[in-house]
Amino acid sequence: MKSLNQLTIKQASQLLAKKEITSVALTEACLKRIKEIDGKIKACLTVCEKEALAEAKKADERRAAGESGDLLGIPYFAKDNILTRGIKTTAASKILANYIAPYDATIIKKLKQAGAVLLGKTNLDEFAHGSSTENSAFGPTHNPWDLTRVPGGSSGGSAAAVASDMCLFALGTDTCGSIRYPAGFCGIVGLKPTYGRSSRFGLIAMTSSTDVPGPLAKTVEDAAIVLSVIAGVDENDATTVNQPHPNPLLSKERVNLKSMTIGLPKEYFTAGTDQGVTQAIEQAVATLKKLGVKFKSVSLPHTKYAIPVYYIITPSEISSNLARFDGIKYGLSAAPSLTSPARTSRERGNDLMSVYTRSRGKGFGPEAKRRIMLGTYALSAGYYDAYYLQAQKVRTQIKQEMDKVLQEVDCLLTPTAPHVAFKIGAPQSADPLKMYLEDIFMAGASLSGLPAMSIPCGFDNGLPVGMQLIGRRFDEAMLFRVGWAYEATTRWHLEKPGI
Ligand code: GLN
C-alpha cells in the first residue's frame, strides 16, 4: 500500500472526492516525509507546517460543503522566487534572506482559490541563475537518486521534492530550462508553458522576455491539471494572452497518434551526448513509432547560436531587473558603522552610493554579480549594437526557424540534457562557461517562447534520463497527448529513488 504522499494528484483527488482520505491526512503524510528525508536532500528553504495544516482543514471543509476540484486539498511546494504573502521569499539570495512579500503571485492566488495546500518554498540557484542549485546562497540541494549528485536547476528543490514524494507537485520557473532540466535529472515531468500562458506577476524577475512559471509533477496528466489552474490572461502581466486553456481531459483520451509526425532536429543529436542518453531516446522513439507516430528528420541550423544569444540577452535583462535590490527598497541593507570617527557621510560610507555598493556587494553571490557585470557591459553605449541588438536579431531568426519547422511537424523530440545528473562540485560547477553549455537543448524553446516538456524516458547508470517535447505556440495539448500516450505504455515514471 502506497503512503499518501506517494499518490499522484489524480489518484489523491479521486480518493478525496470519494471521502476515503482527507486533505489533512494527505498533508500530514507529506510533512512527515519532509521531516524524514529533507535533512539529506535539502530541497526546502521554508516549510510552513501550521499554515499548511490550516489550509488542508479548510479544503476538507470546502469539500464537505459540496465543492469539488482536482486540486482542492492537494499539497504542493513553490520555488522560492515566487511571491507568497506572509511567507518568506528569498530567491535563495542573501539579499532577500528575510524578505516577506506583501502579496501573492497570480499563480499562487489561483492555486489558493482552487484549494491547493502550500507546504512551503523550495531551493534554487540564486535568482534562478544556474543549472544545479549549487548557486544557492543556502547550499545545494541533493538529487534523491544519488545524494552526491545535483538535482539540476534552477528549480532543483522543486524537482527533488516531487521526485522524493515530499509533495504531490511543485511550481517552478523556466527561463532557459529551469523546469525541464531538473525534471529530467530527477526522473519526473516538467512543463514549461508557452511564454504568456501563465502569469509572471509575482515572480522575482530574471529574464522577463523568457521567464515563465509551470508545474513539476509525477505524471503528464498531473502537469496538465496544474497548468489548467495556473494558466490564463492576467491584467497584471501584459504579456499573458487570452487563449483557450488546455483541457486536462485531453491527456486522458488516447488520441490516434497515427496521424502525428514528430520532428527530430539533427542539431540536437550531436556527438557530445552520452551514449546511455542517446540509447534511451532512441528507445523512446521506437516506442512512439509502435504507437503509430511518424518521425521526420528536420534541421534547425541556428541552434548553434542559441547559447551565445541567450547569454547576451539574459545578463542584459538581469542587470536591469536586479537594479531594484539596492539596500534601500528591498532586503538586506549594509548599514555604515555608527562609531566611525569619520566626519562626512561620504567618509563614513553612508552616502547613497556606498549603501548601494556595500549592500549589493554583500547581498549578491558571485553568479549574480557576474551576470550584472556582463549585462551592464552588453548594454553600455558603444557595445549595445554589437551585442544586445545583434543578439535580438539572431533571436528572431531562431524563433522564425522553429516556427517554420513546427508547421511541418506536430512537435519536436530531443534529449532534455546531454547526460544524466552530475556530481556536486563537478567541473561545470567551477566553470561558468561549462555550466552555461548545460542549457544546450533548452535555449531554443525559451528564446522562441514555445511550450516544452521533459518526460522520464529511461535510465543511464541508474540515473534518470529525460526526453523533451517542444510544441507549437499555445499547443501544450499536443505535448500532453504524446506524453500521455507514451506514459501509458511505459513505466519509467513509476520508478522511484530508493531514499
Ligand atoms: N541555466 C539557465 C541559466 O542559468 C537556467 C535559467 C532558468 O531557467 N531560470 O540562465
Q: Look up the CATH number of the domain holding residue 61.
A: 3.90.1300.10
Looking at residue 238, its amino acid is A
- Please give the Cα distance from 351 to 356 (Å, whole number): 9
Question: How crowded is residue 236: how many other Cβ atoms within 10 Å of its Cβ?
Answer: 12
Total domains, the chain: 1
Task: Work out the end-to-end distance of the chain between its first and last CA atoms, rounded to an integer number of angstroms.
Answer: 17
Specify whether 337 is catalytic: no
Give the rounded percent of residues in the chain with a pLDDT score beyond 70: 95
- Please give the Cα distance from 221 to 70 (Å, whole number): 11
- Does residue 84's CB lie within 6 angstroms of at least one atom of ligand 1? no
- Does residue 205's CB lie within 6 angstroms of at least one atom of ligand 1? no
SS3 content of the chain, % helix, strand, coil (to 5): 45, 15, 40
Q: Please give the pLDDT value at position 76.
A: 99
pLDDT tens-digit series, residues 475-496: 999 999 999 999 999 999 999 9
pLDDT tens-digit series, residues 198-239: 999 999 999 999 999 999 999 999 999 999 999 999 999 999
Looking at residue 418, its amino acid is P
Kindly state whether residue 312 falls inside one of the protein's structural domains: no
- Does residue 314's CB lie within 6 angstroms of at least one atom of ligand 1? yes
Query: 171 pairs with which residues across the strands?
Result: 78, 215
Q: What are phi and psi of 321, to 5 degrees?
A: -65, -30
Kindly state whether residue 397 falls inside one of the protein's structural domains: no
Q: Which atom of ligand 1 is nearest to the CA of 206?
A: 9
Kindly state whether residue 365 falls inside one of the protein's structural domains: no
Looking at residue 179, its amino acid is I
The CA 153 to ligand 1 mean position distance, Å, reads 7
* Residue 74: DSSP 8-state: -
For 399, counting Cβ atoms within 10 Å of its Cβ (0-12 exposed, 13-18 middle, 19+ buried), the class is: middle
Q: Probe ligand 1: pick from 125, 317, 434, 442, max atoms within 8 Å of CB?
A: 125
Could you tell me the pLDDT band of residue 51, with boundaries at 50, 70 and 90?
A: very high
Q: Please give the pLDDT value at position 258.
A: 87
Q: Please give the pLDDT value at position 107.
A: 98
Q: Please give the pLDDT value at position 321.
A: 98
The CA 202 to ligand 1 mean position distance, Å, reads 18
Using only the alpha carbons of the chain, give its radius of gyration: 22
Q: Please give the pLDDT value at position 270.
A: 87
Residues whose CB falls within 8 Å of the CB of residue 13, separated by 6 or more in sequence, listed in order: 69, 70, 71, 72, 73, 74
Kindly state whether residue 192 falls inside one of the protein's structural domains: yes
- Please give the Cα distance from 298 to 312 (Å, whole number): 27
Specify whether 79 is catalytic: yes
pTM score: 0.97
Q: Is the distance from CB of 194 to CB of 170 less than 8 angstroms?
A: no
Q: Probe ligand 1: pick from 129, 436, 454, max atoms within 8 Å of CB?
A: 129
Kindly state whether residue 288 falls inside one of the protein's structural domains: no
Residues whose CB falls within 8 Å of the CB of residue 251, separated by 6 or more in sequence, listed in order: 220, 221, 224, 477, 480, 481, 483, 484
- Please give the Cα distance from 161 to 151 (Å, whole number): 10
- Does residue 206's CB lie within 6 angstroms of at least one atom of ligand 1? yes
The CA 128 to ligand 1 mean position distance, Å, reads 6
For cell 511550450, the residue is 451
Statement: residue 346 has pLDDT above 80? no
The CA 375 to ligand 1 mean position distance, Å, reads 15
- Single out the catalytic residue among 154, 198, 251, 454: 154
Domain hosting residue 205, numbered range: 4-259+416-430+453-494
Listed in sequence order, the DSSP H helices in 122-274 are 156-163, 180-186, 220-230
Q: Is the distance from CB of 276 to CB of 282 less than 8 angstroms?
A: no
Cα 266–Cα 267–Cα 270 angle in degrees, nearest 5: 90
Looking at residue 17, its amino acid is A
Q: What are phi and psi of 413, to 5 degrees?
A: -125, 130
Specify whether 354 is catalytic: no
Query: 170 pairs with which residues across the strands?
Result: 77, 216
Lowest-pLDDT choice from 147-151, 287-291, 426-430: 426-430
Residues whose CB falls within 8 Å of the CB of residue 366, separated by 6 or more in sequence, listed in order: none
- Does residue 175's CB lie within 6 angstroms of at least one atom of ligand 1? yes
The CA 458 to ligand 1 mean position distance, Å, reads 24
Q: Is the distance from CB of 218 to CB of 252 less than 8 angstroms?
A: no
Tell me what the mean pLDDT of segment 248-264 comes to: 77
The CA 260 to ligand 1 mean position distance, Å, reads 31
* Residue 34: DSSP 8-state: H
The pLDDT mean for the chain works out to 95
For cell 532536429, the residue is 265
Q: What are the grid coordinates assigned to 160, written together?
A: 527533488
Q: What are the grid coordinates assigned to 129, written together?
A: 541563475
Kindly state whether residue 166 falls inside one of the protein's structural domains: yes
Write the CA distances from 318 to 18, 91, 168, 208, 311, integer angstroms.
48, 14, 32, 8, 11
Kindly state whether residue 286 falls inside one of the protein's structural domains: no
Write the CA distances from 200 to 142, 217, 301, 341, 477, integer angstroms.
28, 20, 31, 47, 21
Between 270 and 5, name the one with better pLDDT: 5
* Residue 42: DSSP 8-state: -
Kindly state whether residue 201 falls inside one of the protein's structural domains: yes
- Please give the Cα distance from 350 to 359 (Å, whole number): 11
Give the rounded percent of residues in the chain with a pLDDT score beyond 90: 90
Q: What are the grid coordinates assigned to 104, written together?
A: 501573492
- Does residue 450's CB lie within 6 angstroms of at least one atom of ligand 1? no
- Please give the Cα distance from 301 to 360 (Å, whole number): 40
Could you tell me the pLDDT band of residue 255, with boundaries at 50, 70 and 90?
A: low
3-class DSSP assignment, residue 471: strand
Nearest CA to ligand 1 atom 10: 129
